[in-house]
Structure 1
Amino acid sequence: MRLVESRATLTISYLVLAIFAFIALFPIALLLLNSLKPAAQIVQNPLGLPQPIRWQNFVNAWNHAKFSKTFVNSLFVSGTTIVLVCSTSSLTAYVLARKKIKSWKIFTFYLLATTTAPIQLYLFPLYFGFAKLGLINNIFGVALIYTALFSPFAVMLLRTYFLAVPKELEEAAIVDGATSWQVFSKVMLPIVSPGILTVALIIGLNSWNEFLIATTFLQKADNVTAVIAFYLLSGQYSSDWGEIMAAALIIVIPVVALFVFMQKRFIEGMAGGSVKG
């Protein structure tokens, strides 16, 4: 009886997983299918097979969106944001985990508020401030905005990792003559590296896909990111949907490949961050 129930439960579990997998993969499969069609075939039958296969869509998308330049811009913005967020947030999280702060509840509320508050609330004053500083169309300036935007989440996540590290390790290192910086860099950082990797992955994906801030602060053609270049492919009166689908696939492929490659460490990092709050 138990064996039958176990098999039934396993069958239902696989069925549910198959349904979720289909829901997750169907849009990507449809995107791939339509990226190989002429625009007319997409309008006629978006679910049909391409006849013939149109590889030229990828060439046109790469050239028209100037991905050779805009991809570099996106990589620079994402890379700079990752470095700034991980370096500053790890230091902040370590201090918050090891120092007793009487107003911790207020500080937690502040972090939650800044994490959940929509960027539209302070977009206009931020724009005028950056205009006064001459930081409009400055890629590094956009990375600074992303750093401020994503740091509260990173601090809260990394703090849980530092809290899970036994204080005896720090005390032993101090007894051996290590300085505070050596304790942090040589002892703590290697232990919480899964959390830092998780933060880097999440922040990198968010900054790569972000649109509102990028399109507001980057207005010159040479400074736009890949996401903005993809948006500009759609014309006001006509659009080559095959080319647009190919451009979307080009943007999605690095993100999907990175997540597939890092999924094990990502899951481990998220699970490790939930050990202690």
Structure 2
Amino acid sequence: MKHEVKLVESRTTLLLTYGALGIALIVTLFPIALLVLNSMKPATQIVQNPLAWPETFRWDNFTRAWDDARFSTTMLNSAILTATTIILVCSTASLTAYVLARRKVKSWKIVTFYLLGTTTAPIQLFLFPLYFGFAKLGLINNPFAVALIYTAIFSPFAVMLLRTYFLAIPRELEEAAQIDGANHWQIFTRVMLPIVSPGILTVALIIGLYSWNEFLIATTFLQGADNMTAIVSFFLLSGQYSSDWGEIMAAALIIVLPVVVLFILLQRRFIEGMAGGSVKG
């Protein structure tokens, strides 16, 4: 009797779990499905009924969106800016996290407070001073300068996450490498980095997503038509009095697609990296 009750309870729990996951899946995929559906409609049909199946498939929405948003230029700008930011953040954050994890820092509480403060502080607090300072230095419309701003914003999060990976590595590995004659740089590059590579990949994916979608700093510091990013050119597609929603939906799908494909290809490593970063230090 007890066995039957436990079996019924386990089945109920399983059904509730799958039901909750199914609802979460529908809520997550519904906006994407709606985006794909409306990207192939004429604007008038979207306004009449955004949930209806397309009466005619407007594939030219994608070609017009690509040309009008100048994606051949702006997406390349976004890719260069995102790649530069990822390289800067991963290189500086991994070095900083290694030192904080392997050296006793007397002012660790102050460092933690600083990292948390810079992570949670809104960028609007620093936007005007940064703009005037960069304007004085002639760094407006300079993608590398914007990458430096992104690095300063995203590095605290990356440092705190990567520090947990380094703390999880046994010190015996480091001591064994020292006995073999390796210096600190060789230990870091040949022993530590290969072990924490899932964490670095996780940081790269998160920072890349933030950099690709960032709008406020990009539209403030990259004002030239040849320097703007894809998200800014997408914003400019919307007119003041009228908008071609079919073209806008197609442009949104073009911007989202590279990120979705990249995440699908690397999702297993990303999940492993997030699970490894949950270790408390």
Is TM-score (shorter-chain normalized) higher than 0.5?
yes
Q: Which residue among 116, 122, 129 is the counterpart of 1:125?
A: 129
What amino acid sits opposite 1:52 in the alignment?
A: T
1:87 is paired with a residue of what secondary structure? helix
1:103 and 1:181 mapped to 2: Cα distance? 24
- Cα offset for 1:276? 2.5
Report the number of matched residues.
277
Matched residue, 1:14: 18
Aligned position for 1:223: 227
Matched, 1:270 2:274: yes
Q: CA offsets per residue over residues 46-69 of structure 1, 9 Å max, x none?
A: 100111111010010000001011
SS at match of 1:260: helix
2:213 is equivalent to residue 209 of structure 1: yes
Partner of 2:250: 246
**Match in the other structure for 1:37:** 41
Equivalent position to 2:167, from 138, 160, 163: 163
The correspondence for 1:54, drawn from 52, 58, 79, is: 58
Aligned to 1:72: 76
Partner of 2:9: 5
| Poorly superposed stretches of 4+, deviation over 4 Å | none
- The one-character-per-residue Cα deviations of 1:8-28 (angstroms, maximum 9, x if unpaired) are 111111110010000000000
**Counterpart Cα distance in 2 of 1:276 and 1:172:** 24
Q: CA deviation at 1:142?
A: 0.7
* TM-score (ref. length: structure 2): 0.98
Structure 2: how far apart are the matches of 1:246 and 1:118?
31
Q: Which position in structure 1 is the counterpart of 2:204? A: 200
Q: CA deviation at 1:2?
A: 1.4
Identity of aligned residues (%): 75
> Secondary structure of the equivalent of 2:57?
coil
Distance in 2 (CA, whole Å) between partners of 1:51 and 1:66 is 28
Residue 106 of structure 1: aligned partner: 110
Does residue 181 of structure 1 match 2:185? yes
* TM-aligned CA deviation for residue 202 of structure 1: 0.4
CA contact (8 A) 1:36 1:53 kept: yes
TM-score by length of 1: 0.99
Cα distance in 2 for residues equivalent to 1:41 and 1:206 = 33
- Matched to 2:212, the amino acid is W
Instruction: Tell me the amino acid that sits aligned with residue 97 of structure 2.
Output: A
